[in-house]
């Protein structure tokens, strides 16, 4: 920490991402590094950052290989940024992207750096596999053995069951339930109907399809690996087709389906943040400012329905600090992990009984749903975990810049019962 006590404004200067691809489709032959580099290179080209020394690049992946332990620095070294640009890996589940933005923004605000990139990437097509715990211990033992005989003796202890690989699991170790499993409980507990979930998913696809048709994403996305658009987006989606899909998590009484849940996805995104002075010196536009951010966590082992509802608490605290009401915003971007979690969030905000029951100090009230996820969100774009924050911040910055003034509210839930909210202003 330096001694600078004046807080500077943090400008969002740029955004870029590659199209998001459903797992095992367009990006099945690439990994995190290639995707992150493509997103960064697109940003570097667009904002003339070739050869530039930036303050820092921060970001990461929720799932990464051990050889990617220094992922962001490795990526920076392979882009056209000045190789003396430092980088840092961060990971906070689906909040990785937004938390990376908070990290860079705080450093800019404190005067520690003048510019930085926050990024995020994830691949489900290229997941790491680890050896079983028993095999790992035996391999370590064999490595330490002093003679060939000692090594062979250790190898002979390996049993066939030790050879099953360990793969990353999309579940909470505290409860043994997947994100979808928890959200099934959320849907039942907060009485979110299948029809409402399907309608909400359809709206996401229609909003995003319209935004593509209107050219909204033209300057936001760099084509990659033969893909020009998010390949989860379904222009032909209808409520009838969605209604026919079978429940994915609770096969008997469930309401969550492949249509109203985000799919497993590959992709990368990044945003360029800077002080006002730096942006002006570089002749770069100031799209909007990050003005507030808040993180919260929630208990979800006893109350399994609440796993993805921590942003409710982050929102309350953030609004109190900002002196704003939930209704004071021109746009809302709420990450659609599942339609049910987004709809439960809206329902709790609207209900004094549910707000009290979950432990909020006051009921925040209803938002104008016409202002929510107006360009579609994760149900349509899909959700490469760490890349979602950058996608959402980019969309909000562009919306506010196009409008010319106003305020935007962002909310992103994450595994581990955590959530981050942010205010962006123009």
Ligand X SMILES: CC(=O)SCCNC(=O)CCNC(=O)[C@H](O)C(C)(C)COP(=O)(O)OP(=O)(O)OC[C@H]1O[C@@H](n2cnc3c(N)ncnc32)[C@H](O)[C@@H]1OP(=O)(O)O
- Positions touching ligand X (CB under 6 A) are 94, 170, 179-180, 201, 234, 237, 241-242, 245, 248, 258-259, 261-264, 308, 337, 383, 413-415
Active site residue 75: no
User: What is the closest distance, in whole angstroms, from the C-beta atom of residue 318 to ligand X in the complex?
Assistant: 18
Q: Which two tokens stand for residue 144?
A: 């330490």
User: What is the closest distance, in whole angstroms, from the C-beta atom of residue 268 to ligand X in the complex?
Assistant: 16
Is the alpha carbon torsion for 162, 163, 164, 168 positive or negative?
Answer: positive
- Write the CB contacts of 364 (distance below 8 Å, at least 6 apart in sequence): 315, 316, 319, 325, 326, 349, 355
Q: Which is nearer to ligand X, 127 or 158 (CB)?
A: 127
Q: Which is nearer to ligand X, 13 or 415 (CB)?
A: 415
Q: Which two tokens stand for residue 350?
A: 């609207």
User: What is the closest distance, in whole angstroms, from the C-beta atom of residue 407 to ligand X in the complex?
Assistant: 24
- Cβ atoms of 36 and 42 within 8 Å: the answer is no
Neighbours of 343 (CB within 10 A): 23
Q: Which residue is nearest to ligand X (CB)?
A: 337
User: What is the closest distance, in whole angstroms, from the C-beta atom of residue 74 to ligand X in the complex?
Assistant: 26
CA angle 392, 319, 56 (to 5 degrees): 45
Catalytic entry in 75, 88, 94, 270: 94
> What is the distance between the alpha carbons of residues 355 and 326, in angstroms, rounded to a whole number?
14
Q: How far is residue 296 from each of residues 47, 317, 378, 411, 413, measured CA to CA in Å? A: 34, 9, 21, 11, 10
Q: Which is nearer to ligand X, 119 or 180 (CB)?
A: 180
- Write the CB contacts of 153 (distance below 8 Å, at least 6 apart in sequence): 145
User: What is the closest distance, in whole angstroms, from the C-beta atom of residue 314 to ligand X in the complex?
Assistant: 13
Q: How many CA within 13 A on the CB side of residue 124?
A: 20
Q: Which is nearer to ligand X, 264 or 364 (CB)?
A: 264
> What is the distance between the alpha carbons of residues 336 and 343, in angstroms, rounded to a whole number?
9
Catalytic entry in 182, 205, 335, 383: 383
Q: Which is nearer to ligand X, 32 or 262 (CB)?
A: 262
Positions marked active-site: 94, 383, 413
């Amino acid at each position: 920490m330096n001694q600078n006590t004046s807080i500077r404004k943090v400008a969002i200067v740029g955004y870029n991402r590659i199209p998001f691809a459903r797992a095992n489709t367009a990006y099945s032959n690439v990994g995190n590094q290639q995707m992150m580099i493509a997103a960064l290179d697109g940003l570097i080209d667009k904002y003339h950052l070739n050869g530039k020394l930036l303050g820092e690049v921060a970001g990461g992946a929720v799932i990464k290989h051990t050889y990617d332990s220094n992922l962001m620095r490795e990526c920076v070294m392979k882009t056209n940024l000045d190789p003396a640009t430092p980088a840092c890996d961060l990971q906070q589940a689906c909040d990785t992207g937004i938390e990376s933005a908070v990290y860079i923004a705080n450093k800019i605000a404190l005067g520690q750096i003048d510019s930085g990139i926050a990024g995020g990437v994830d691949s489900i097509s290229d997941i790491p596999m680890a050896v079983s715990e028993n095999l790992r211990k035996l391999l370590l033992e064999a490595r330490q053995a002093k003679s060939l005989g000692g090594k062979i003796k250790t190898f002979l202890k390996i049993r066939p069951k030790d050879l099953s690989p360990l793969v990353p699991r999309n579940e909470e170790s505290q409860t043994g339930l997947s994100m979808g499993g928890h959200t099934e409980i959320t849907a039942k507990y907060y009485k979110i109907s299948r029809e409402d979930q399907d309608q909400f998913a359809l709206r996401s696809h229609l909003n995003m399809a319209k935004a593509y048709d209107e050219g909204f994403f033209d300057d936001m996305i760099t084509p990659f690996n033969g893909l020009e658009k998010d390949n989860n987006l379904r222009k032909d989606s209808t409520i009838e087709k969605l209604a026919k899909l079978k429940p994915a998590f609770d096969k008997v009484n469930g309401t969550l389906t492949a249509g109203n849940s985000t799919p497993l996805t590959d992709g990368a995104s990044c945003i360029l943040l800077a002080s006002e002075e730096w942006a002006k010196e570089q002749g770069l536009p100031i799209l909007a400012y990050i003005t507030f951010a808040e993180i919260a966590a929630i208990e979800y082992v006893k109350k399994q329905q609440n796993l993805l509802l921590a942003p409710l608490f982050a929102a309350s605290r953030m609004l109190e600090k900002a002196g704003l009401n939930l209704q004071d915003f021109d746009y809302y971007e709420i990450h659609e992990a599942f339609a049910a979690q987004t709809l439960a969030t809206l329902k709790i905000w609207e209900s004094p009984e549910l707000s009290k029951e979950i432990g909020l100090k006051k009921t925040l009230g209803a938002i104008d749903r016409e202002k929510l996820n107006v360009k579609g969100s994760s149900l349509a774009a899909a959700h490469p975990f760490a890349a979602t924050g950058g996608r959402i911040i980019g969309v909000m910055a562009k919306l506010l810049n196009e409008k010319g003034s106003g305020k935007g509210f962002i909310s992103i839930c994450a595994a581990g019962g955590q959530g981050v909210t942010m205010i962006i202003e123009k």
